[in-house]
Structure 1
């Protein structure tokens, strides 16, 4: 193996920290960039003694001048509450941030990996969603800053590839969960697990009949690394996610059963533009990368619940006593 200097933007986030860990385990030098708006330095605590890891606070909307061999661009808030909190900044991160990193890749002659999303399919009319499907996206809704920002980033990626011969890799990520998610990030798995562990009501939006497919983080990172190592001719886009499909209510019931919680399920109005179905067609990833998710939802949830249980216990212990 040739040691490479790898830039990971969003490296202190949920996915980024797992990616940094895997790259270090492979012997590479890792430059981890994050503006720490949603990323957490604590996600990297166990790695900070590694001399091959450099952590830099930086916003990708500002150009940077570094020398690297590969770039993984994971910089962007990914949960609806986070990306809707500052929609203009979310769009700038996807568009200006990706543009800056593509210019860096061009200058360094570096390969660049772009983390896109299943949200580019919108509320799909095709099920499951193959990479050839162009999507059904509202361009002016409250989720548009993320959906359309990621779609624009995909466009720029392929234009740099065609116009400047930049080597690109494009992945579309479906719902992913696991340790190091933030307890307050607003994603469905973290919401349900934290509510169940606290004994709070579990909040379902709508009737809970909408479906999602949940991929454990270890499986996803394996797909990232396989894609980055694939031949230059294979650019993607490629779907990565677990094709096992569950209703939101089924997820809530599994979490209650695995935690032994007494939480009740309560219903709230469905958010605007919330997709009714989401399941990846992963035949391309299977064929070209030899990739298949291995960890079933029940096993992944057990690991995720154990992580949040430890985290909540630590946070409770650190709270000051009240009179």
Structure 2
């Protein structure tokens, strides 16, 4: 009997919280394609049913509508904790609920992992570095975060979640993994999530002014969603001695003005650039050090920005 056939006889039960969201929905498909069962948990505050509708007929896919800030009781083998609004517009819309999702949600998921002896991966974020004073950002950097600013509900919530994960690991031997996710883009992004890639593409396709916050010189690095999901799966598949945190992101840096000009060229749009004041605590630069991901996971991004943007533009064009 082949190994692949044997694996299909006993698939893992994989819980993905936030499974109808941008990253979560891609992760659901990736896990199903690998032959395992997926329990998708989402309260649809920012997730969308259309992201997972193509998966509903798969007998190995199950949808549970639930808010992770309340306990949940399931029998699972692995958990990807992806639940939390990730764009500033969404997480600042209800900052108290954002804190509940990140902190209470982490405690509930860790409690489930402890009971079931499941491996559990926390989708952390580059936002834990805040507006960094160290560039590029290695995992050892502890960050420069404003705990009382508008972004604090998300930044500090994610930082507290990392603390909880390591405390459960040390005190209860929970098998944890922490991925610090840098800017990611691709199909299933919200057209109105306020993130720079979706903003620029939607404005370009509609022929509206491209709104750039600040002088356009601030930089980001953009990882295509399939590369990011591959990194998450590689991290989950590591042994119990690998806990992270591990940065996952594309280290190729680009300014906001350069990004806008690239999108204008790819869309053929004649939209004009307009510059607005920079929001409070908005980081001026971000770039991950991914040496640890490369060494431990054998991972590095494969999709370049131009090809990733073409696929993302086609997705938004179909929505609009």
SS at structure 2 position matched to 1:131:
coil
User: Is 2:212 the counterpart of 1:204?
Assistant: yes
- Counterpart of 1:120 (choices 116, 128, 133) is 128
- Counterpart of 1:265 (choices 252, 269, 273) is 273
Once residues 31 and 267 of structure 2 are traced to their aligned partners in structure 1, the CA distance between those partners, rounded to angstroms, is 33
Cα deviations across residues 141-175 of structure 1 (Å, max 9, x unaligned)?
Answer: 00000000000000000000000000000000000
Instruction: Structure 2 unaligned segments of length 5 or more: list them.
Output: 1-6
Matches within 5 A, 1:23-34: 23-34=31-42
Give the match for residue 256 of structure 2.
248
Once residues 290 and 3 of structure 1 are traced to their aligned partners in structure 2, the CA distance between those partners, rounded to angstroms, is 25
SS at structure 2 position matched to 1:169:
strand
Once residues 104 and 290 of structure 1 are traced to their aligned partners in structure 2, the CA distance between those partners, rounded to angstroms, is 30
Give the match for residue 316 of structure 1.
none
Cα deviations across residues 78-110 of structure 1 (Å, max 9, x unaligned)?
Answer: 000000000000011000000000000000011
Cα deviations across residues 239-285 of structure 1 (Å, max 9, x unaligned)?
Answer: 00000000011000000000000100001110000001100000000
User: How far is the alpha carbon of 1:205 from its aligned partner?
Assistant: 0.3
Once residues 149 and 4 of structure 1 are traced to their aligned partners in structure 2, the CA distance between those partners, rounded to angstroms, is 30
User: Is 2:223 the counterpart of 1:215?
Assistant: yes
- Paired residues, what number? 312
SS at structure 2 position matched to 1:171:
strand
Once residues 78 and 267 of structure 2 are traced to their aligned partners in structure 1, the CA distance between those partners, rounded to angstroms, is 41
Give the match for residue 189 of structure 2.
181
- Counterpart of 2:146 (choices 135, 138, 149) is 138
User: How far is the alpha carbon of 1:231 from its aligned partner?
Assistant: 1.3
Give the match for residue 69 of structure 1.
77
Larger mean Cα displacement after TM superposition, 76-85 or 2-11? 2-11
Give the match for residue 301 of structure 1.
309
Matches within 5 A, 1:1-323: 1=7, 3-312=11-320
Instruction: Structure 1 unaligned segments of length 5 or more: list them.
Output: 313-323
Once residues 129 and 189 of structure 1 are traced to their aligned partners in structure 2, the CA distance between those partners, rounded to angstroms, is 21
Give the match for residue 4 of structure 2.
none
User: How far is the alpha carbon of 1:188 from its aligned partner?
Assistant: 0.5
User: How far is the alpha carbon of 1:32 from its aligned partner?
Assistant: 0.2
Once residues 221 and 203 of structure 2 are traced to their aligned partners in structure 1, the CA distance between those partners, rounded to angstroms, is 20
User: How far is the alpha carbon of 1:236 from its aligned partner?
Assistant: 0.2
Once residues 221 and 103 of structure 1 are traced to their aligned partners in structure 2, the CA distance between those partners, rounded to angstroms, is 25
Once residues 243 and 215 of structure 1 are traced to their aligned partners in structure 2, the CA distance between those partners, rounded to angstroms, is 8
Once residues 27 and 79 of structure 1 are traced to their aligned partners in structure 2, the CA distance between those partners, rounded to angstroms, is 31
SS at structure 2 position matched to 1:96:
helix
SS at structure 2 position matched to 1:279:
coil
